[in-house]
A and B are shown apart, each in its own frame.
Chain A
Amino acid sequence: MCACNHQLTPDSEYARLEELLKEYKDQRGALIPVLQQAQEIFGYLPEPVLKRIAESFRLPLSRVYGVTTFYAQFHLKPRGRHVIRVCQGTACHVRGSARILDRVQRELGIESGGTTEDLRFTIEPVACLGACGLAPVMMIDDNTHGRLTVDMIPKILDMYE
């Protein structure tokens, strides 16, 4: 997520949401792309945003909420500045990714799916990052770290403030 998001005032975030809604007005199948881009604006999907989207699409809020909770990509709570995805795919599993995840969780004191209190990190489970040749693999933001061993973890985490 880009850092400038944090400097935007909520007003301008909502202004961007309105533009987005206008752009997709009357398009078929637009709900998911709108949710995706709204999440890019806000970093997550707070309740008022969902309400506004439902209203604009003339859908019951329950329908929008249903779609939001069905897909793993959508988040109803704020997330950390850095997202850690420890690969839990098959190739990584047989090369010991469970121990990598354990260590990351222990370093940060949170479970997979959780966010640190200082909003520095969120851990997200993910199945296969498509870099199986480098298993075990984890991705922090857009950077892929491969051929991991447990003792590399603290140093890698230190690279992200």
Chain B
Amino acid sequence: MELVRAHILVCGGTGCTSSGSKAVQEALHRELKKQGLDKEVKIVETGCHGFCEQGPLVIVYPEGTFYCQVQVEDIPELVEEHLLKGRILQRLLFTEPLTQERVPHYKEIDFYRKQRRLVLRNCGYIDPEKIDEYIARDGYVALAKVLGEMTPEDVIEEIKASGLRGRGGAGFPTGLKWGFAAQAPGEKKYVVCNADEGDPGAFMDRSILEGDPHCVLEGMLIGAYAIGSDEGYIYARAEYPLAIKRLKIALAQARELGLMGDNILGTDFCFDLHIKEGAGAFVCGEETALMASIEGQRGMPRSRPPFPANSGLWGKPTNINNVETWANVANIIRNGAKWYGQFGTEKSKGTKVFALTGKVKNTGLVEVPMGIPMREIIYEIGDGILGDKKFKAVQIGGPSGGCLSEGQLDLAVDYESLGSAGAIMGSGGLVVMDEETCMVDVAKFFLDFTRAESCGKCTPCREGIQRMREMLQDFSEGKGSLEDLDKLERLAQTIKDTALCGLGQTAPNPVLTTLRYFRDEYEAHIRDKRCPAGVCRALLTYYIVPELCRGCTACARVCPTGAITGKVKEPHVIDPEKCIKCGACMEACRFDSIILK
């Protein structure tokens, strides 16, 4: 590696790319060249730093100075101040909202301070397209240790002892699962990485693959050695082109160095990987559907047993794990199960990565020790609710998970506590909702999703979700009776108990939890014909505030049904009978005189 005096890390994650980090990077290149610094200062494009809200992010090492919301226009000043004069450019530092202090080093920012970045330890530090940088951070040390000093049984025992549980949703103990596949009779065995991440509102796996693809490959190599497999698949969502590109680069580099392929590191161990692109079906995240899809069929789940450990891909024993599960493996082997055991709670060991989004000030990717109270994630890492509105709910686990209310804020975030509250850990989506979010609407939203994604194989899911959705539609229009709420609850429970696969079994969770924690909101819709959050359109009316209306006629001209009347320069009125609530007038009004009541 050539000697340079400073490294500039520019985030190339999806969040920062969308806010213009590519242009910032190009501007940096130009400016360094112009100042004659291009030999001494190196630009590195990294994966996601997690603090997407503040993007584009630029970090200058060796100091580790953290600049946020960097724009192309800032670059000349940044280069001159920091790299020529050695002064920190104050105005681009992050400002801690509570204290209004500018924080130069990212480790001191509250958003990062509460986190424990084990899985994400390399994300944002290394260039994910260079295997050398991964190796420089102890990459592939665990693989060498496994091949040199450990038997497959040792590896499985170590993973069992660590208490690692699957991060794909259900939290099944990983060591146990590996043990089943290792013991299953058969010569040919497969390992699979589930990178189908389909939860709307989640992007943890994507960030790991984009920011540190080698840690997933290393985990899979170790798993393959443990169960006796020589071939594997990574099934990635097609909407993730950057993750797929980086995986392909990583795979080629690992092959070149003899870390993948025949006789790895000079031993008898042989293993290679295929990358499969999904074709857009949420249900393919379910393990049996995923394998059907790899085989080139419609991705429909089948009933288990037989479990994949005995009969999986092409009928062979198969071990399937989630991206984040695989990403934990090398850390555990390198540092030992005991080290890993210090993080988390008794039954939920280690850390979990969450995608913190919605109506929270700091959105982004966070990694926290299991067992942390929900309140700390939302109020300390996330810095509370956007616009200082009132917190209403947090949705955890995506369409299979649940909505928790104020009363559950002190709940510990681990598998057991979440389960007892009716939610699930899920893959790690965490969506914060405020007083302007209607819970009936949220339940409807998730059912829209699961209804569209149901594969249609079994009746409870195919017909049941549709029926629940119809009932919710009625409620959102103020129809139905209070008894219908009990009916909905019974139906939801029946679907949960009878559907074939996890999709149908968990699809009622958003309905059940909103009924449990926000029943008053349902009642307000039905009994009072009122949507307290002001979201459900059928229960709202558009109204022109006469004092604000200047009579410009803009609204009357755009109204598709001619519901608005009034003379020029005089206040207009909307005829509620004719209004179809399309909202066109509200958009057209330049004086904010149209409101929803």
A106 close to chain B: CB less than 8 A: yes
Bound-state CA distance A129–B18 (Å) is 11
B199 close to chain A: CB less than 8 A: yes
Q: How far is the CB of B559 from chain A (nearest CB, A)?
A: 13
Among A67, A90, A103, A150, residue most surrounded by chain B Cβ atoms (within 10 Å):
A90
Stretch at the interface among A4-12, A15-23, A31-39, A114-122: A31-39
A123 close to chain B: CB less than 8 A: no
Among A30, A72, A93, residue most surrounded by chain B Cβ atoms (within 10 Å):
A93
A25 close to chain B: CB less than 8 A: no
Residues on B with beta carbons closer than 8 Å to the beta carbon of A104: none
Bound-state CA distance A75–B476 (Å) is 33
Bound-state CA distance A134–B83 (Å) is 30
List which B281-300 residues lie within 8 A (CB) of chain A. Answer: 281-282, 293-300
Residues on A with beta carbons closer than 8 Å to the beta carbon of B582: 102, 106
Residues on B with beta carbons closer than 8 Å to the beta carbon of A130: 14, 203, 206, 239-240
List which B259-280 residues lie within 8 A (CB) of chain A. Answer: 276-280
A131 close to chain B: CB less than 8 A: yes
Given A106-B584, A127-B449, do A133 and B52 touch, yes or no (CB 8 Å)? yes
List which A55-109 residues lie within 8 A (CB) of chain B. Answer: 66-67, 70-74, 88-91, 93-95, 99, 102-103, 106
Partner among A66, A88, A91 whose Cβ is within 8 Å of the Cβ of B431: A91
List which B318-332 residues lie within 8 A (CB) of chain A. Answer: none
B15 close to chain A: CB less than 8 A: yes
Residues on A with beta carbons closer than 8 Å to the beta carbon of B14: 129-131, 144
Q: Binary interface profile of A, 127-141, with partner B (CB < 8 Å = 1, else 0)?
A: 111111111010000
In the complex formed, the residue of A with least CB distance to B300 is A70
A161 close to chain B: CB less than 8 A: no
Beta-carbon contact of A72 and B279 below 8 Å: yes
Bound-state CA distance A4–B363 (Å) is 40
Residues on A with beta carbons closer than 8 Å to the beta carbon of B359: 94-95
Beta-carbon contact of A71 and B587 below 8 Å: no
Residues on B with beta carbons closer than 8 Å to the beta carbon of A33: 276-277
Given A71-B281, A90-B357, do A134 and B18 touch, yes or no (CB 8 Å)? yes
B339 close to chain A: CB less than 8 A: no
Beta-carbon contact of A127 and B358 below 8 Å: no
Beta-carbon contact of A127 and B282 below 8 Å: yes
Bound-state CA distance A66–B296 (Å) is 11
Residues on A with beta carbons closer than 8 Å to the beta carbon of B445: 90, 93
Given A30-B296, A32-B293, A90-B200, do A131 and B279 touch, yes or no (CB 8 Å)? no
Q: How far is the CB of A82 from chain B (nearest CB, A)?
A: 17
Q: How far is the CB of B433 from chain A (nearest CB, A)?
A: 6
Partner among B52, B357, B587 whose Cβ is within 8 Å of the Cβ of A151: B587
Beta-carbon contact of B18 and A102 below 8 Å: no
B238 close to chain A: CB less than 8 A: yes
Residues on B with beta carbons closer than 8 Å to the beta carbon of A133: 15, 52-53, 55, 357, 363-364
Residues on B with beta carbons closer than 8 Å to the beta carbon of A146: 18-19
Partner among A28, A88, A99, A132 whose Cβ is within 8 Å of the Cβ of B357: A132
A29 close to chain B: CB less than 8 A: yes
Partner among A72, A73, A90 whose Cβ is within 8 Å of the Cβ of B429: A90
Among B296, B297, B587, residue most surrounded by chain A Cβ atoms (within 10 Å):
B296
Bound-state CA distance A99–B582 (Å) is 10
Beta-carbon contact of B15 and A28 below 8 Å: no
Given A94-B433, A133-B363, do A36 and B358 touch, yes or no (CB 8 Å)? no
Beta-carbon contact of A71 and B299 below 8 Å: yes
A126 close to chain B: CB less than 8 A: yes
Q: How far is the CB of B298 from chain A (nearest CB, A)?
A: 4
Given A126-B239, A132-B355, do A90 and B398 touch, yes or no (CB 8 Å)? yes
Beta-carbon contact of A32 and B279 below 8 Å: yes
Beta-carbon contact of A89 and B279 below 8 Å: no
B201 close to chain A: CB less than 8 A: yes
Beta-carbon contact of B201 and A99 below 8 Å: no
Bound-state CA distance A74–B277 (Å) is 13
Beta-carbon contact of A72 and B201 below 8 Å: no
Residues on A with beta carbons closer than 8 Å to the beta carbon of B279: 32, 35-36, 71-74
Residues on A with beta carbons closer than 8 Å to the beta carbon of B239: 126, 129-130
Residues on B with beta carbons closer than 8 Å to the beta carbon of A74: 279
Bound-state CA distance A13–B431 (Å) is 45
Beta-carbon contact of B200 and A128 below 8 Å: yes
B198 close to chain A: CB less than 8 A: yes
Q: Binary interface profile of B, 17-42, with partner A (CB < 8 Å = 1, else 0)?
A: 11100000000000000000000000
Q: How far is the CB of A100 from chain B (nearest CB, A)?
A: 12
In the complex formed, the residue of A with least CB distance to B207 is A130
Bound-state CA distance A160–B65 (Å) is 38
Given A29-B295, A70-B281, do A88 and B200 touch, yes or no (CB 8 Å)? yes
Q: How far is the CB of A60 from chain B (nearest CB, A)?
A: 13
Partner among B19, B201, B449 whose Cβ is within 8 Å of the Cβ of A91: B201
Q: How far is the CB of A104 from chain B (nearest CB, A)?
A: 13
Residues on A with beta carbons closer than 8 Å to the beta carbon of B449: 127
B583 close to chain A: CB less than 8 A: yes
Beta-carbon contact of A94 and B431 below 8 Å: yes
Beta-carbon contact of A73 and B238 below 8 Å: yes
Residues on A with beta carbons closer than 8 Å to the beta carbon of B15: 131, 133-134
Residues on B with beta carbons closer than 8 Å to the beta carbon of A102: 582-583
A–B pairs, 20, beta carbons within 8 Å:
A28-B314, A31-B297, A32-B276, A32-B279, A67-B297, A73-B279, A73-B280, A89-B200, A90-B429, A90-B431, A93-B445, A102-B583, A126-B239, A128-B200, A130-B239, A131-B15, A132-B355, A132-B357, A134-B19, A135-B357
What 8 pairs between A and B have smallest CB-CB spacing?
Answer: A133-B52, A89-B200, A90-B201, A72-B280, A71-B279, A91-B357, A127-B200, A130-B203
Q: A67-B298, A71-B281 are in contact. List 15 more A-B contacts (CB 8 A).
A: A33-B276, A70-B281, A70-B299, A73-B279, A90-B357, A93-B445, A94-B359, A94-B433, A102-B582, A128-B201, A130-B240, A131-B14, A133-B357, A146-B18, A151-B587
